[in-house]
Amino acid sequence: MPTVIQHQRERVREALPARLAPPPMYQVVLLNDDYTPMDFVVHVLRQVFHKTDAEAERIMLQVHHEGRGVCGIYTRDIASTRVDAVLHMAHADQHPLQCLMEPVPLF
């Protein structure tokens, strides 16, 4: 009987998959425009990305001064969902706010 158990253990070891790489990460980016109010951008950052008031204001100012600001880094599905939520909120309030996701740059 021990040979049967030993044989089964060997088969299980062979069937184990190799280690998987972590999923690719994407950053969600807000883009500056001349029409969307700063208060609305802060509201979006708080609602969609769950940022504190200070974080939301810092990101909003980065978008305003640098033309773009990273709101967070997520897996592809979550990033896509956050981008859709931002675009939906902007469209519902008739603001031209743009949001996109891009792969996190490798250093």
Q: Is the pLDDT of residue 93 over 80?
A: yes
Q: How many CA atoms lie within 13 A of 8 on its CB side?
A: 4
- Give the predicted TM-score (pTM) of the model: 0.81
Model confidence pLDDT, tens digit, residues 29-69: 999 999 999 999 999 999 999 999 999 999 999 999 999 99
Q: Which residue ranges make up each domain of the chain?
A: 33-107
Angle (CA) 90-95-100 rounded to 5° is 55
pLDDT band at 105, cuts 50/70/90? Answer: confident
Longest CA pairwise span in the chain (Å): 78
Architecture of domain 33-107: 2-Layer Sandwich (3.30)
